A and B are shown apart, each in its own frame.
Chain A
Amino acid sequence: MAAGTHQIVPRRRGWVFDEAPAIWLAPLGVLLAAFYLWPALQVVRTSFTDANLMEPTARTTLDSYRDVLFYSGLNEIGKATLVFVGGSVVGQLSFGLLIALALDAGAKRKLPGVTFVRVAVLATWIIPGVASGITWQLIFSESRVGFLNGVLNAAGMRSIAWLSDPDIAIWSATLANIWRGTALSMILLYAGLQLIPGSLYEAAAIDGAGRFQAFRYITLPQLKPILLINVILVTIFSLNTFDLVLPLTGGGPGRSTEVLALAVYNTVFHDFNLGEGSVLAVMMLLIGLGMTAGYARLLR
Chain B
Amino acid sequence: MSLLPGGRRATAIGLYLAYGGILLFFMLPLLWLLSLSVRGPAEIFVSELRLIPREPTLINFAQVLQIRQFPLYLLNGLKLAVGGAAGAALIAAPAAYACSRFDFKAKKAALFAVLAFQMISPLVVMVPLYRYMDSLGLTESHAGALIIYVAIASPMSTWLMKGFFDGLPPELEQAAMIDGCTRFGAFRRIVLPLSVPGLAAAFILTAIMGWSQFIVPFILLSKPDLLPISVGIYNLLGTYTGSATQLVAAASVLSLLPAIVVFLVFQRFIVGALTAGALKE
A interface residue numbers (CB < 8 A to B): 1-5, 7-8, 10-12, 16, 18-19, 21, 24-25, 27-29, 31-32, 35-36, 38-40, 42-43, 46, 98-99, 102, 105-106, 109, 111, 113-114, 117, 119-124, 126-131, 134-139, 141, 143-145, 147, 150-151, 153-154, 179, 187-188, 191-192, 226, 229, 233, 236, 239-240, 242-243, 246-247, 261, 264-265, 268-269, 274, 277-278, 281, 284-285, 288-289, 291-293, 295-296, 299-300
Contact = CB atoms under 8 A, between A and B. Distances in A.
Contact of B119 (A136, A274, A288): A288
A291 B91 CA distance: 26
B119 A128 contact: no
B42 interface: no
Given A120-B27, A243-B212, A128 B230 contact: yes
A261 B121 contact: yes
A129 B33 CA distance: 14
Given A24-B95, A35-B129, A135-B32, A4 B171 contact: yes
The secondary structure that dominates the B interface is helix
Contacts of A42: 128, 132
A126 B259 contact: yes
6 contacts: A31-B150, A46-B128, A138-B245, A243-B212, A243-B215, A296-B115
Contacts of A265: 123, 215
Contacts of B221: none
Given A8-B174, A36-B117, A111-B15, A43 B271 contact: no
B184 to A, nearest CB: 4
Contact of A120 (B23, B126, B184): B23
B154 A31 contact: yes
A258 B11 CA distance: 44
A7 B101 CA distance: 8
B102 A21 contact: yes
Contact of B183 (A5, A19, A147, A285): A19
B170 A300 contact: no
B82 to A, nearest CB: 15
Contacts of B29: 135-136, 138-139, 147, 179
Contacts of A153: 47, 49
Contacts of B234: 130, 246-247
Contacts of B279: 188, 191-192, 226, 229, 299
A114 B267 CA distance: 15
B125 interface: yes
B214 interface: yes
A4 B170 contact: yes
Nearest to B228: A128
Interface size class of B (residues with CB under 8 A): 35 or more
Nearest to A46: B128
A120 B267 CA distance: 11
Given A242-B121, A281-B123, A10 B181 contact: yes
A264 B263 contact: no
Interface string B145-174: 001101100110010000000111111001
B196 to A, nearest CB: 19
Contacts of A131: 230, 233, 252, 255-256
Given A8-B178, A143-B242, A35 B124 contact: no
B189 interface: no
B116 to A, nearest CB: 4
Contacts of B264: 119, 123
A119 B261 CA distance: 12
Contact of B260 (A126, A136, A233, A278): A126
Contacts of B259: 126-128
Contacts of A98: 18
Listed residue (B97, B114, B241, B280) with the most chain A CB atoms within 10 angstroms of its CB = B241
B248 A134 contact: yes
A188 B276 CA distance: 9
A137 B242 CA distance: 12
Contacts of A32: 113, 117, 151, 154-155
